Amino acid sequence: MSRVVIVGAGFGGLGCAWTFANQVSKESVSSVVVVDSKDWFTIGGTWAYAWSDRTPVAETKWPLVDAKPRLPGVELRLNTSVVSIDTAGKTITLTDRPDEPVPYDYLVLAPGVVGDPSSIPGLDKCVDMYSQSHVERQKADLQRIVQTAKANAANRVAAEKKQTLAIIIAATPYKCPVAPFEAAFIADDFFRRHGVRDAVDITVSAPVLWPLPDPAKAIFERYLAEKDVLFLPCKTIKNVETNEAENSTSVFFEDGTCITGASAVWAVYPQTAPGFIKQAGLANLSGFVPANMGTNKVSNDVPNADSIFCVGDCAGLSASGKPHPKAGEFAWQMGEMVAHAIGNSGPEYVHSRLGACIAECGGGAGVLVAPDFTACVADPENGQPSATITDKKQGGEEYKLQWVGKYVGKLFGDEGRKFAPKAVA
Per-residue confidence (pLDDT) for residue 347, from 0 to 100: 79
Rounded-to-integer distance, Cα 98 and Cα 96, Å: 6
Rounded-to-integer distance, Cα 142 and Cα 134, Å: 13
Per-residue confidence (pLDDT) for residue 111, from 0 to 100: 97
For residue 72, cis peptide bond before it (omega within 30 degrees of 0):
no
pTM of the model: 0.95
The answer on pLDDT for 275 being more than 80 is yes
The answer on pLDDT for 41 being more than 70 is yes
Q: Which CATH number fits domain 117-268: 3.40.50.720, 3.30.420.10, 3.50.50.60, 3.30.470.20?
A: 3.50.50.60
> pLDDT tens, 189-238?
999 999 999 999 999 999 999 998 888 999 999 999 999 999 999 999 99
Q: Which residues contact 397 (CB under 8 A, 6 or more apart)?
A: 360, 364, 365, 366
Q: Please say whether the structural domain 2-113+273-349 has been given the CATH code 3.40.50.300.
A: no
Number of continuous H segments (helices) and E segments (strands) in the chain: 9, 27
Q: Where are the domains of the chain?
A: 2-113+273-349, 117-268
Residue-averaged pLDDT of the chain: 94
The answer to whether 2-113+273-349 and 117-268 have equal CATH topology is yes
Per-residue confidence (pLDDT) for residue 322, from 0 to 100: 79
Rounded mean pLDDT, 293-303: 94
Rounded-to-integer distance, Cα 359 and Cα 184, Å: 10
